[in-house]
Structure 1
C-alpha cells in the first residue's frame, strides 16, 4: 500500500521510525511474516493433504491460505522497499501488492466470520445443522467468499489507479467495500457473542470444548490485531493530511495485521497441546485436538472416548 503513497514531502522533525526508509519496522514485519508463513504452511499441509476434511476443516484451511498469501505479499513489499533503499532503482508493481493484500485481508475476515457463524448455528440449532445442512456448504461458501473478495479488490484498485478516487463511482466502490467489512464485523461480533453466551451462561449452557476455545481466541486476536488494518484502510483519506502521521499509523496497522495472520497456527498449537503430555505431541494430532468438538474427560463434566479425536462436524458431509 505504500507504493502509491507520495514521498516528496520533507522528513524533517519527524521520528525516524516514521521515515519510509527506516529499516527496523521493515525487519520486524519481515520476521513476523516468516514465522507466520511457517505456521500457516504447516496448517495447509496437514489440513489439505494429511487429514480428512469436514465442515470446519475446510474453513480453517481457507483461512490459513488467506493468511499465508497475505503474509507473502507483505514480505514481497518489504523486499522491494529494501531493494529501493539499497539500490537507486524503482521496480514497478502496478498495484499488484496492494491488490493482493486487500484480497486476502477481506478473504480472511470473511472466512473467520463464516466459521463463527457456522459454529453458532451448530450450537443453537444442532438438530437442523446436523440433519438439514445443505451438502457441500463449506466448499460453496469458500468459493463465493474468494470470488467476492477478488471482485471488490479489483474494483477498488481500478478506481485507485485510473480515476484517482475523484469520481462518484469510486466513492461508491469504497462505500461498498466498507459496508461489506462492517457487515462481516457485525456478523462476527453477533455470532461470537451468541456462541459465548450459549456456552457459558444460562440453564442450557454447553460444555466447553477445544473448538470453541480455538474460535474464541482467533476472534479475540483478530479484534485486537487484525481489525486496525481495516479501520486504517478506510479512514486513510479522512486522517490528518500529514504523510508521516498516516505512515506511522500504516506501519502500526500492518505490524498488527501480520501478528494476526501469524498467530492462528500458534493458537491451534496452544489449544491442541494443552493438558497433553509432551512425549505424545504430534503436529497432526495437535491440530486435530485444536478442532475437537467434544469435551474431553474432566472438562466441564464431559467425556471423550480414548482415541476419539474427530469433530462432530465429521458427521456432516465433507465440504
Structure 2
C-alpha cells in the first residue's frame, strides 16, 4: 500500500524477493472477510468516496470557473486556480476507485493501474508545493515589499506554477514504475517492489519531500510574517492569512496519519502488525483524499458573512475571498513601501 485512495486498492499487495512473502490480497475499502463489521466499514468507505467525488468535482469546478473565467487574472488567483485544478483532477479520477470497490477487483488494466497511481501522487506533491509557493509569496510581500511590487507579475507566477507541476511529475514517476497488475483468483493492482529497501527508500523520500521539508519552509515563512506584521502593524485584514492557514492546516492534518502508517508498513515484518497497519491505512487514505474536496468550502467560509448568505451566495463568497486576498496583498505592498520610503527620507 504505497499511495492513497486509488493506489490503496490493494492494501497488502507487496512482494519482496528477499523479504516477507506476499500477504493475502486485500483491496482497499473492501472487506477481507464476510463479517458484518467488515461489510459495514466497506460500505462507509464507499459512501465517503462518493461524497468526496461529488463535493470535490463541484466545489473545485466552481473555483476554477470563478478564478479562471470570472475574475481578473492576478498572482493570487493564479496560485489558487492551480491548486483547484490539482484537486479537481484528483476528484475526477475517484470513479475508478469506486468502480474497483464495487466490483471488488481491478478491471481497468495495467495502464490505468499505473495512471491512477501517478495522478494521486501528482495531486499530493502539487498541492503541497503550491502551498509552499503561496507561503513564500506572502513572505516576499511582507519582507521585500518594494521588490514584490516591481517584480511580482502574473507571468512569473505562471512560470513558478509550471515548475511546481514539473517537479511534482518527476516525483510521481516511481508510483508508475512499481505498479503492476496480477490475477490470483481476482485481478489486483498492486505495488511490486523487488526489495524491501526499495520500498523503504520510496516511502521515506516521499515523506521528506512531500511533508517534512514543505512543513519547515512554511513554518519559517509564517514565523517571519507574524513577527514582521506585529512589529509594523500594517495589516488591515487577517482574513487572507486565515484562509491560507486553514488550507495548510487541513493539508497537514489530512496527510500526517497517512505518511505515518506508510512508514510503519514499510518496516513491518509480521502479519499481525500488517493487519493493524492496513486498517489504519484505509482510514488515513480516505482522510487524505478528503482534503481535495475541502478547499473550496474553506474559501467560502472565510468570505464575508457566509453563514448569513449560505447557498444563494456560495459563488460570491468565494469571489469575495479572492478579492480580499488581492486587496490585502496590494495594501501590504503599499504600506511597507511607504514605511521604507520614510526610513530613507529620515536618513
After TM superposition, is the score higher than 0.5? yes
CA distance in 1, matches of 2:147, 2:32: 60
CA distance in 1, matches of 2:40, 2:9: 11
CA distance in 2, matches of 1:163, 1:156: 10
1:123 maps to which residue? 142
Evaluate the alpha carbon distance shift between residue 129 and residue 293 of structure 1 in structure 2; reply closer, same or farther with a 3 A threshold: farther
Count, aligned residues = 297
Match of 1:58 among 70, 78, 93: 78
2:43 maps to which residue? 23
Q: What 5-or-longer segments of structure 1 have no aligned partner?
A: 295-307
1:303 maps to which residue? none
Contact 1:107–1:146 (CA under 8 A) maintained in structure 2: yes
Deviation at 1:271, TM superposition (A): 1.2
1:137 maps to which residue? 156
CA distance in 2, matches of 1:32, 1:43: 16
Evaluate the alpha carbon distance shift between residue 292 and residue 120 of structure 1 in structure 2; reply closer, same or farther with a 3 A threshold: farther
Deviation at 1:285, TM superposition (A): 3.4
Deviations 1:239-288 (A, max 9, x none): 56444323222222122223322111111111113379639964453223
Give runs of aligned pairs for residues 116-265 of structure 1, distance below 5 A. Answer: 116-133=135-152, 136-159=155-178, 161=180, 164-166=193-195, 175-181=204-210, 182-199=212-229, 201-202=230-231, 204=233, 206-239=235-268, 241=270, 242-265=273-296
1:2 maps to which residue? 8
Cα-Cα RMSD: 3.6
Evaluate the alpha carbon distance shift between residue 275 and residue 76 of structure 1 in structure 2; reply closer, same or farther with a 3 A threshold: closer
1:302 maps to which residue? none
Match of 1:270 among 301, 310, 330: 301
Deviation at 1:172, TM superposition (A): 5.4
With 269-278 and 66-75 compared, the bigger mean Cα shift is at 269-278
Deviation at 1:61, TM superposition (A): 0.5
1:109 maps to which residue? 128
Deviations 1:207-240 (A, max 9, x none): 3343222111111222222333344445431256
CA distance in 2, matches of 1:115, 1:13: 47
Q: What 5-or-longer segments of structure 2 have no aligned partner?
A: 1-6, 14-23, 181-190, 334-347
Contact 1:217–1:267 (CA under 8 A) maintained in structure 2: yes
What TM-score does the superposition give when structure 1 sets the normalisation length? 0.78
CA distance in 2, matches of 1:147, 1:64: 17
CA distance in 2, matches of 1:186, 1:279: 36
CA distance in 2, matches of 1:180, 1:226: 13
2:102 maps to which residue? 82
With 168-177 and 258-267 compared, the bigger mean Cα shift is at 168-177
SS of the residue corresponding to residue 95 of structure 1 reads: helix
With 187-196 and 113-122 compared, the bigger mean Cα shift is at 187-196
What TM-score does the superposition give when structure 2 sets the normalisation length? 0.72
CA distance in 2, matches of 1:280, 1:255: 26
Structure (1 or 2) with the larger CA radius of gyration: 2
